Structure 1
Amino acid sequence: MSIAPLIRPAQPEDAATLAAFAAQAFTDTYRGLDDPQEIADYVAEHFPPEVVAGVIRDPACTTLLAWVGEQLAGYAVLRAAPAPGCVTGPEPLQLWRLYLGLCFIGQGLGARLMAEVNAARRGAVARARCGSASTTAMCVPSSSTGASALRRSATRSSCSAAGSTSIPSMP
Structure 2
Amino acid sequence: MTTITLARDEDVGELTLFASHSFTHTFGHIYDPADLASFLAAWNPSEKLRAQIADPAWAIALAHGADGSIAGFIKMGPLDFELPEGQPGEDATELHQLYVGAAAQGKGIAAALMDWGIVWARERASILYLSVFTENARAQAFYRRYGFIDVGRNQFRVGNHVDEDRFFRLDL
Other-structure match for 2:152: 160
Q: Could you tell me which residue of structure 1 aligns to residue 162 of structure 2?
A: none
Aligned residues: 158
Q: Secondary structure at the match of 1:140?
A: strand
State the distance in 2 between where 1:31 and 1:73 align.
19
Q: Check if 1:149 corresponds to 2:122.
A: no
AA in 2 matched with 1:150: F
- 3-state SS, counterpart of residue 29 of structure 2: coil
Q: Deviation per CA, 1:116-150: give whole Å up to 9, x if none.
A: 00111234xxxxxxxx2111101122233443232
CA distance in structure 1 between the aligned counterparts of 2:108 and 2:47, rounded to whole angstroms: 31
Q: 1:15-164 alignment to 2 at 5 Å?
A: 15-69=12-66, 70-81=68-79, 84-85=83-84, 87-88=87-88, 91-123=91-123, 132-162=124-154, 163-164=166-167
Percent identity of paired positions between Structure 1 and Structure 2: 26
Decide which moves more: 42-51 or 61-70: 42-51
* Match in the other structure for 2:159: none
Name the structure where strand makes up a greater proportion of residues: 2
TM-score scaled by length of structure 2 = 0.81
Q: Give the gaps of 5 or more residues in structure 2.
A: 155-165
Give 3-state SS (helix, strand or coil) of 2:152's partner: coil
TM-superposed deviation, 1:90: 6.0
Deviation sequence 1:33-87 (CA, Å, 0-9, x none): 2323222211112233223222222333111111122120111111112661354
Paired with 1:160 and 1:52, the residues of 2 have a C-alpha distance of 28
RMSD: 2.1
The 8 Å contact of residues 12 and 53 in structure 1, kept in 2 or not, is answered as yes
Contact 1:87 1:166 in 2 (8 A): no
**Which 5+ residue runs of structure 1 have no aligned equivalent?**
124-131
CA spacing shift, 1:146–1:19, aligned 2, 3 Å: farther
Q: Is the 8 A contact 1:33 1:143 kept in 2?
A: no
CA distance in 1 between counterparts of 2:152 and 2:104 reads 31
